[in-house]
Amino acid sequence: MCGRYVSATPPDEVAKYFGALAPAPEHALSPNHNVAPTQTVYAVREREGVRSLDTLHWGLVPFWAKDPKIGNRMINARAETVAQKNAFRVPFSRRRCIIPADGFYEWQRLEGSKRKQPMFISRPDGEPFAFAGLWERWRDDNSLDADGEPLELRSCTIITCEANDAMAEIHDRMPVVLPPGAWDLWLEPSNADAEAAAALLVPAPSSLIRMHPVSTEVNNARNNGSHLIERADPIEA
């Protein structure tokens, strides 16, 4: 799974990397070294031929949901079933996005112990990951926003797949990482070719992965700061 990641690169740099329009200054997010579910995150979307870096709620809320809290359980979608699951089937065919990440965290089980070692995973070249994601629009006609319009929530989820050899050392799942050559196909809203999209949902090469142990401070989503991604001595089992 992917339940915590890092988004600290300035939005204008992220937007340039993905060939997208940057968000307006008032919508820019603060650097976050401990992004957690239900927070507002960046996502690259394409609509009417324009690619933009937008902000979405992490935890997909299906359009048919009666309560938006259902999104708390939908931070990830499994690649193996994303095209069939009721919550993800429609956005998989129409509303795909990319979730940029400077890196992500995963917790390694320690043999003979209930404790887990947090690990920070990033790219050896220092470039951001392009996680395959989906987004959805949920509307509550019974609640009004500040402008008197029905309340809307735009949310997203990160697709995961089986771990590659490098990741398998610490966990059996990992986020789907899209190579640059796949971005156009993935983001094009009019491309409803489910087979072509599904073919992209494979583990990234192990060469794209580097990792090191970090402090257990990252276990608490309230902790933040660049020190969280610094190498730390492994904890004792």
Catalytic residues: 2, 106
Quickly tell me which residue has 């690619």 as its tokens.
Answer: 51
Tell me the DSSP string of the chain: ----EEE-S-HHHHHHHTT-BPPPGGGPPPPEEEE-TTSEEEEEEEETTEEEEEEEEES---TT-SSGGGGGG-SEEETTTTTTSTTTHHHHHH-EEEEEESEEEEEEEPTTSS-EEEEEEE-TT-PPEEEEEEEEEEEEEEEE-TTSSEEEEEEEEEEEEE--TTGGGT-SEEE-B--GGGHHHHH-TT---HHHHHTT-SPPPGGG-EEEE--GGGGSTT--SGGGGS--PPPP-
State the burial class of residue 17 (Cβ atoms within 10 Å of its Cβ: 0-12, 13-18, 19+).
middle
